[in-house]
Amino acid sequence: MPDNVEASTTQPQAAERESLAERFPIDVTQYSLKGEELEFMQAQTGITDEEELKKHILAVQAEAYAIFPYPCIRRFTFLNFRIGRLYGYDQLLRLGKEHKDAIFLDVGCCFGNDLRYAAMGGFPMQRMVASDLYAGYWGLGHKLFRSTQESFPVKFVPGDVFDPSHLAIASPIYTPASDPVPDLSALASLNPLRGHISAIHASAFFHLFDEAKQEHVARALAGLLSAEPGSIILGTHACALQQGERTFSFGLDDTDTHTLFCHSPESWKELWDGQVFAKGSVSVETRVTDFLGLGAEKGFYFLEWCVTRL
């Protein structure tokens, strides 16, 4: 992600969005949909003809790219359902089935793909909360999946994770929350959820920020998590084998450079177990993957991870 794509407390100006979209135009040759993901999209949209489905997806992609040209939209990685292969996914479904008040939050949800996948797996939609900086993505999610608020009744709460009126940092709780579970339908921010969320998902999200902001987000999400053993935070994002900034070249001719702060598996574990949460109060599982095929050439990997309260 370019330095000037980093999410902040102010939405980028139109000129910046247009500049990025010009430097990184949509490339339809990167479209690929097959196997389980093809079947999922066919089932969700009701469009079984592959060519018609492709046209439908491309139309929504163009609208989404006009909101902000994130690489995950340009590269069609929003069609890759990450959550089902993550550490903790089975635990997420178990929480939804065994705990009547379990709440699932997806941060940086974009179209809500992963929420829909979890709903298909059995997590109750009425106990899901979605959040993103750009509210337009949520509306396009309904367009992409041909759903409505009635057919997919997940509460969407737009907001900036660095805006304390939306999500303030609060220390993790280590005893059950004393206040009642909030009415999800009435939520105007994520703050009323402190200590009440059983599972939080954040994929392709942390790598948008520098090291300090990644720690900020980690602490903010930790304050939302229930003290109940088995509560989880899971996700995936760019990483490196050694912690630090990494500069990558992408774009039309590889002349544009993109600098990301990348945690290593070891530094990611240290962040959560001992800095964000009290040492020994959580377990952290990690796995390095190279699903974009850029590891050997550019040292660009992804980290799949799950933080579990003990």
Which pLDDT tens digit goes with each residue over 192-201? 999 999 999 9
- Phi and psi (nearest 5°) for 288? -90, 130
Tell me: the pLDDT tens digits for 291-302? 666 555 556 789
Question: Which candidate, 195, 190, 134, 135, places its Cα nearest to that of 166?
Answer: 190
DSSP structure string for the chain: --GGGS--SSPPPHHHHHHHHHHS---GGG----HHHHHHHHHHH----HHHHHHHHHHHHHHHHHH---HHHHTTGGGS--GGGSTTHHHHHHHHHH-TT--EEEET-TT-HHHHHHHHHT--GGGEEEE-S-HHHHHHHHHHHT--TTTS--EE----TT-TTTS---PPPSS--SSPPP-GGG-SSSGGGTTTBSEEEEES-GGGS-HHHHHHHHHHHHTTB-SSTT-EEEEEEEE-SSSEEEEEEESSSS-EEEEEEE--HHHHHHHHBTTTB-TTSEEEEEEEE-TTS-HHHH--EEEEEEEEE-
Tell me: the pLDDT tens digits for 127-154? 999 999 999 999 999 999 999 999 999 9
Tell me: the pLDDT tens digits for 226-255? 999 999 999 999 898 888 887 766 555 555
pLDDT confidence of residue 246: 78
pLDDT confidence of residue 255: 57
Using the predicted structure, report yes or no on whether residue 2 has a pLDDT greater than 60: no
Q: What value does the mean pLDDT of the chain take?
A: 89
Mean pLDDT of 34-38: 94
Rounded Cα gap, residues 49 and 219, in angstroms: 45
Rounded Cα gap, residues 171 and 183, in angstroms: 22
Rounded Cα gap, residues 289 and 84, in angstroms: 15
Rounded Cα gap, residues 259 and 305, in angstroms: 22
> What is the per-residue burial (b if ≥16 Cβ within 10 Å, else e) of 128-143?
bbbbbbbeebbebbbe
Mean pLDDT of 62-76: 90
Using the predicted structure, report yes or no on whether residue 169 has a pLDDT greater than 60: yes
Question: Which candidate, 221, 190, 40, places its Cα nearest to that of 116?
Answer: 40
Using the predicted structure, report yes or no on whether residue 179 has a pLDDT greater than 50: yes
pLDDT confidence of residue 15: 67
Say if pTM beats, i.e. exceeds, 0.85: yes
Q: What is the dihedral of CA 181, 186, 187, 188, to 10 degrees?
A: -150
Mean pLDDT of 115-124: 97
Question: Which candidate, 132, 128, 131, places its Cα nearest to that of 103?
Answer: 128
Mean pLDDT of 254-277: 88
Using the predicted structure, report yes or no on whether residue 72 has a pLDDT greater than 90: no
Using the predicted structure, report yes or no on whether residue 10 has a pLDDT greater than 80: no
107, 72 contact by CB (below 8 A): no
Rounded Cα gap, residues 55 and 104, in angstroms: 32
Using the predicted structure, report yes or no on whether residue 47 has a pLDDT greater than 70: yes
